[in-house]
């Protein structure tokens, strides 16, 4: 009997990187959304969400990178949760999808504990 391991990916906003990260040891790395089996509308939404975050980067002094307001940051995180739900639905039960901001917002398997740590 063959055992199939669940693929684990993470949706998150990271400066200078694609918004999806594969945590599997044999495929670890950032993944552009268009390389996954996703509908074009979801790929476009992920790209827009990521570009919104990338525009907050301050090249003059990176520690000053941030959204223009707390409301904009909260809205961006809320869209991230919506995209996470769509991504999980499209990729199905064989893939575990997490979504991150400055800490874990939601995880499909496990519970959030402390600052961005997940306990299985």
In a domain, 39, yes or no: yes
Spans in the chain with pLDDT lower than 70: 1-6, 102-120
In a domain, 65, yes or no: yes
Q: Domain limits at 26?
A: 7-119
Neighbours of 59 (CB within 10 A): 7
Please report the sign of the dihedral spanned by the C-alpha atoms of residue 16, residue 29, residue 74, residue 76: positive
Task: Identify the pLDDT of residue 63.
Answer: 87
Task: Identify the pLDDT of residue 3.
Answer: 45
Task: Identify the pLDDT of residue 16.
Answer: 94
Task: Identify the pLDDT of residue 5.
Answer: 62
Task: Identify the pLDDT of residue 6.
Answer: 65
In a domain, 30, yes or no: yes
In a domain, 2, yes or no: no
In a domain, 1, yes or no: no
pLDDT one-digit tens code per residue, 32-49? 999 999 999 999 999 999
Structure tokens at 83: 């995209």
Say how many domains are in the chain: 1
In a domain, 47, yes or no: yes
Q: What is the pTM of this model?
A: 0.79
């Amino acid at each position: 009997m063959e055992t199939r391991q669940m693929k684990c990916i993470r949706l998150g906003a990271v400066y200078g990187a694609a918004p999806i990260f594969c945590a599997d040891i044999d495929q670890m790395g950032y993944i552009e959304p268009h390389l996954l089996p996703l509908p074009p509308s979801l790929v476009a939404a992920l790209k827009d969400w990521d570009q919104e975050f990338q525009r907050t980067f301050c090249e003059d002094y990176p520690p000053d990178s941030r959204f223009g307001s707390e409301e904009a940051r909260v809205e961006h995180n809320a869209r991230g949760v919506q995209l996470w739900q769509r991504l999980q639905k499209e990729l199905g039960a064989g893939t575990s999808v997490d979504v991150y901001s400055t800490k874990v917002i939601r995880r499909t398997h496990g519970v959030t504990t402390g600052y961005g740590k997940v306990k299985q």
